[in-house]
Structure 1
Amino acid sequence: MTERTTTPGGRHSAIVLAVVLACQLMVGIDATIVNIALPEIQTQLHFSQTGLAWVFNAYTLAFGGLLLLGGRAGDLLGRRRMFAFGVLLFTAASLLGGLATQSWWLVAARALQGIGGAMASPNVLSLIMSNYEDGPRRTHALSVFAVASSASLALGLLAGGALTSAGSWRWVFFVNVPIGAAILILTPIFVHETETHRGRFDLVGAITATIGVAGLAYGVIRTATSGWGDPITIAVFVAAVLVLVCFILVEKRAEQPIMPLRLFADRRRAAAYVNTLLVPSTIFAVIYFLTQYLQEGFGYGPLATGVAFLPMTVVLMGVVRLVGRLIKRWGTRPVMAVGIAFVTAALLWLTRLTSGSGYLADVLGPLVLLGVGAGLTTVALSVTSLSGVRREDSGAGAGLFQTLQWTSWSLGLAVLVTVYHQAATEGGGVAESLARGTASAFAGASVIAVIALISTLIFVRSAIQPGAPAAPADPPAGKVPPEQAEAGARSRD
């Protein structure tokens, strides 16, 4: 049975975009908004230093481990239904987090937030894809989505600093309640349910994907305190890899897999997936390490640290307004390559940080370059990764894209934190160690960015050719003869 569906490009599409992006901003901001409030949380709820890390880790583990499940559930049960369920759970968990009086209570609330975010977030992309036909309007919508996703990380720092300074750490949770309530009220009015697809739910695939991704994320998180050589850490990584291999074998045999392997059949899309594992880690590294450097090296307070990232956010928001036209004129591959080149330049500039560096001379310029690069790259990656995905696979495709982004943040950060600690412990004063470690982390991120740039130039092909009309989404399997489908794929490449 098919429920009432949205009409792509309908008169309420702008309102639909605003509603779903409000959710994306709320979920994305919560990845960083708590960071600045952690010292106050530790004091009031009596967290140990190790236990305090789980305020962040509980969210990332639940979110990263369940994204694929949330995306596929939207395909089978209805994307608006799963979106609303995720927002409801996220909002309720935020209220519980703000009311927490015990450390375990807050950690549990953060895990529930992660589950709610994983149910809602992949369906944000699916609802955008359903409301906008393939072409300039969809590219613009994806551009706005990209800026919301990228800006949410920096906005989380600003909001966390402002709320903690003006009130208390509890407001970083309470602020989600009115936003979530508004989304829940507007969703049934303006967002119609999308097409649902009959079939069996891939329960084994969902379980193995969740365990594998969560295990990988836990292993990465553990390296920050136990190191890469810790036996338990190694055992967790081995187990996670084995479970993920089982997941792939299950998906090859499943009638309706949670992650259709045909998503990787398009070489253009597969290459974009590789870059999605590389590029976001370098952008997130700047936010993570500069947040610490500004507070510990420059002595900035929480609010000042958030404000320091505003130039990057403003530039990024300006760039994404132009990306749709740039892609239409030049194609996604050149835009992606230029974007990664800007990111690389920003990282190389940041490797020059010393204990005597200043914000205007050594930080502002790289942040502006990063804003340009992030705006160009994230939009081009999302368009390339999602272009041509079948309608029945859009939830799974969105879930996979966001899972790769989240994995990039976790894995990349773990590697770069290791680089940071090795450089910072080589001796010298506190200020010198901080600057040396931070510069070394950015040097490592530069290497990752260069690899992504080479991958783009050699393997990535444009999802949209310059001046060519956008190709429609792939039809359901069996509706187009193989030779015609192959010819269509070649024309899109």
Structure 2
Amino acid sequence: MTNVETPKTAEAREVNFQDASTTPTPDPRRWRALMVLAFVQFIIFLDATIVNVALPAIQHDLGFTAGGLTWVVNGYLLAAGGLLLAGGRLADLLGRRKLFLSGAGLFAVASLTAAVAWSPAVLIVGRFAQGIAEAIAAPAAMALVALLFTNPAERAKAFGIWGGLAGLGSATGVVLSGVLTDLVSWRLVFLVNIPLALIPLIFGPKLLTESKMSGKRPDLISAVLVTGGLIAVIQGLLTASTDGWGAGSTLTPLIIGVAALVLFVIVQAKSSNPLVPLRFFANRTRATGNIALIFQASASAAMFFLAVLYMQQVLGFNPLQSGLAWLPFCVFVLAGMMLTMNLLPKVGPRNAIIVGMLISAAGTLMLSYITVDGTYWTSILPASVLIGLGGGITGPALQAAALQDVSMEDAGLGSGVLTTVQQMGQALGLTVIVAIALSIESGALAGGHSAAAAATSGYQVAFLVASIVLAVGALSAAVLVKRNKPNPAVAVA
């Protein structure tokens, strides 16, 4: 059965995070449906980090060049980041369940392609396909969660589970990558996705009801502009990390991408049937949630990348040790998630974002004190505990803020915006913060320092910058997000 709503009925069903007085009868299958939807969220974030530790083994087995190897990561980022916004809106227009299940199926096929790859080209095709699958499935899944849980307390709990699984997926990816690569084969880092992706295909049709907008068709010109613009901007950011900001290979895609996105905004403002209505960004809490997410995603992506390098290149960890080192992080992500699920309905997203990002900032600041002769117990463990706890608190709160007041009409759009911002933030962090580390390292090597000492000096400065980025994100939430009036009557079942 398909639920088709007009803009007027959609407006009547707008869900306010603090006001549940007019919420519709909840779907009795909603918690089981959440588990199905969350499986895809988990494997998407799992896949985002699981490849990193396996890259040297992949390069050795398939004969990648150093430049070609970057496309194992960049191909995924380009496809996902470029298509997420259009994917979210298309889910609204074509059917959210349909796109979610299609994306889950494509992710399984793409993962199998990557796992059996016999050449660099085949693996890169598989990674591009995985990115496209994320762009199709992730916004649709998050939109379905937002529409399934209309009660504020239940929605907070659902976002807590959703956001916690995202952080847990990222950390689990690092753990599994080290274990599977060291003990078996890098191919298992892709094969592990397949059974997880098949679960939604088996149970999704029984638990999820189709929903979409009525009377509108996709604006193909707008879709081409926003997709092409985002791909070009991300390509420019990724190229800047290797070629520098002044290189033509960096400036050309950045200029083209920005021009395409400006034209896209102009088209949306004048269109009677916009792909992305500009009114969506008028909600201050929603806009600020996405802004804070940029800070959180950029700092976290750089932190993960550099911490793994420090453990392997300076402390001498092998992939297995490097992966297992993140287990405490996983535990405290879950602790933060559980804490947020209980407090978010009472304190609102603003306070949770501020507290969570400040805790993560403190942990990242601790990493700026690493030394060349440090140990896991003194240099990594205390910081990873704080970063995990802060991330578990922050993730659900950011999603609650970014999807505040979302309606049936705009649920996929809101999810697409959120996931696009997250991808852009990750690309920005890997470009800017990692570039700072590499620049400091190069200068130290030129000054006669050892390779380990030079790398450590670069990591120290980069972690300091990442901690400042997180603190600025917390400040943006403190200044811009409206205060939530505590409601003692709201409780999570």
Are the counterparts in 2 of residues 135 and 469 from structure 1 also a CA contact under 8 Å? Answer: no
Distance 1:408 1:455, change over 3 A: same
Q: What is the match of residue 352 of structure 1?
A: 369
Structure 2 counterpart of 1:58, from 64, 75, 88: 75
Assess, with a 3 A threshold, how the Cα gap between structure 1 residues 100 and 82 changes in structure 2: closer, same or farther. Answer: same
2:486 to 466, 473, 483: 466
In the TM superposition, residue 28 of structure 1 has moved relative to its aligned partner by 1.4
Match of 1:325 among 342, 349, 370: 342
For residue 156 of structure 2, what is the amino acid of its counterpart? Answer: T
Instruction: Give me the whole-angstrom Cα distance separating, in 2, the residues matched to 1:343 and 1:209.
Output: 32
Paired amino acid for 1:245:
V
Name the structure 2 match of 1:438.
Answer: 459
**Is 1:289 aligned to residue 306 of structure 2?**
yes
2:355 to 338, 341, 360: 338
- Preserved CA contact (<8 Å) 1:260 1:393: no
Which of 220, 242, 248 in structure 1 is aligned with 2:237?
220
- Please tell me whether the aligned partners of residues 241 and 432 of structure 2 are also in contact (alpha carbons under 8 angstroms): no
SS in 2 for 1:363: helix
* Secondary structure of the structure 2 residue equivalent to 1:388: coil
Residue 194 of structure 1 aligns to a residue whose secondary structure is strand
Number of residue pairs the alignment of both structures matches: 468
Following superposition, the deviation at residue 144 of structure 1 comes to 0.7
Residues 433-464 of structure 1 show CA distances to partners (whole Å, capped at 9, x for unaligned) of 111011111111122122212212221214x4
* Aligned AA (2:479): I
Distance 2:442 2:42 in 1: 37
In 2, distance between residues paired with 1:456 and 1:53?
34
Whether 1:271 and 2:291 are equivalent positions in the alignment is: no
- 1:243 paired residue number: 260
1:284-320 superposed Cα distances (whole Å, 9 cap, x missing partner): 2221110111111111111211111111111111121
Quick one: structure 1 residues 329 and 58, their matched pair in 2 at CA, closer, same or farther if it must change by over 3 Å? same
Contact 1:146 1:379 in 2 (8 A): yes
Q: Matched residue of 1:289: which SS?
A: helix
Partner of 1:117: 134
Matched, 1:9 2:30: no
Moved more, 267-276 or 430-439: 267-276
- Equivalent runs, 1:157-196 vs 2, <5 Å: 157-196=174-213
Equivalence for 1:86: 103
Q: Is 1:394 equivalent to 2:411 in the alignment?
A: yes
Please name the residue that 2:315 is paired with. Answer: 298
Structure 1 residues 393, 50: closer, same or farther in 2, change over 3 A?
Answer: same
Partner of 2:14: none
CA contact (8 A) 1:20 1:124 kept: yes
Partner of 2:327: 310
Letter of the 1:319 partner, please give it.
G
Who is 1:366 aligned against?
383
State the partner residue of 1:488: none
Unaligned runs of 5+ in 1: 471-493
Q: Which moved more, 1:396-405 or 1:255-264?
A: 255-264
Out of 191, 196, 205, the residue aligned to residue 222 of structure 2 is 205
Within the candidate set 449, 453, 456, 2:477 is matched to 456
Distance 1:184 1:11, change over 3 A: same
Determine helix, strand or coil for the equivalent of 1:256: coil
Residue correspondence of structure 1 range 130-149 to structure 2 within 5 A: 130-149=147-166
Q: Deviations over 1:328-348 (max 9, x none)?
A: 332322221111211221121
Contact 1:350 1:363 in 2 (8 A): yes
1:200 CA drift (Å): 2.0
Partner residue of 2:45 out of 28, 39, 55: 28
Aligned partner of 2:20 in structure 1 is none
Structure 2 alignment gaps of length 5 or more: 6-23
Q: Which residue of 1 aligns with 2:276?
A: 259
Change (3 A) 1:147 1:8: farther
Deviations 1:104-131 (CA, angstroms, capped at 9, x unpaired): 1110111011101110011111111121
- Cα gap change, 1:327/1:175 in structure 2, threshold over 3 Å: closer, same or farther? closer
Instruction: Describe the superposition over 1:363-408 as per-residue Cα deviations: whole angstroms up to 9, x where unpaired.
Output: 1111111112112222211111101012110000000011111111
User: How do residues 467-482 of structure 1 correspond to structure 2 at under 5 angstroms?
Assistant: 467=487
Percent identical across equivalent pairs? 34
- Which has the larger displacement, 114-123 or 26-35? 26-35
1:233 to 243, 246, 250: 250
Question: Hey, what's the Cα distance between the residues in 2 that align with 1:163 and 1:360?
Answer: 24
Distance in 2 between residues matched to 1:72 and 1:328, nearest whole Å: 28
Secondary structure in 2 matching 1:168: coil
The answer to whether the Cα contact below 8 Å between 1:351 and 1:439 also exists between their aligned partners in 2 is yes
CA contact (8 A) 1:348 1:442 kept: yes
Query: What SS class does the counterpart of residue 299 from structure 1 fall into?
Result: coil
Aligned residue type for 1:440: V
- Please name the residue that 1:474 is paired with: none
Q: Which amino acid aligns with 1:445?
A: A
Over aligned residue pairs, what C-alpha RMSD do you find? 1.7
Rounded Cα–Cα distance in structure 2 between residues aligned with 1:419 and 1:451? 18
Give TM-score, length-normalised by structure 2: 0.91
> 1:179 deviation in Å?
2.1
TM-score (norm 1): 0.91
Offset at residue 2 of structure 1 (A): 4.2
- 2-structure distance, mates of 1:66, 1:176: 21
2:399 aligned partner: 382
Partner SS state of residue 157, structure 2: helix
Find the aligned partners of 1:148 and 1:224 in 2 and give their Cα distance.
30
Q: Which residue of 2 aligns with 1:482?
A: none
Higher relative contact order (CA 8 A, sep 6+): 2
Answer yes or no: is the 8 Å Cα contact 1:8–1:131 preserved in 2: no
Question: What letter corresponds to residue 385 of structure 1 in structure 2?
Answer: A
Task: Give the structure 2 partner of residue 484 of structure 1.
Answer: none
* 1:256 shift after superposition: 3.1
2:42–2:166 CA contact under 8 A, matched in 1: yes
Q: Which residue identity does 1:97 align to in structure 2?
A: A
Change (3 A) 1:312 1:51: same
Report if the CA contact (8 A) 1:259-1:400 is conserved.
no
Q: Tell me which amino acid in the other structure corresponds to 2:101.
A: A
2:17 — aligned with what? none
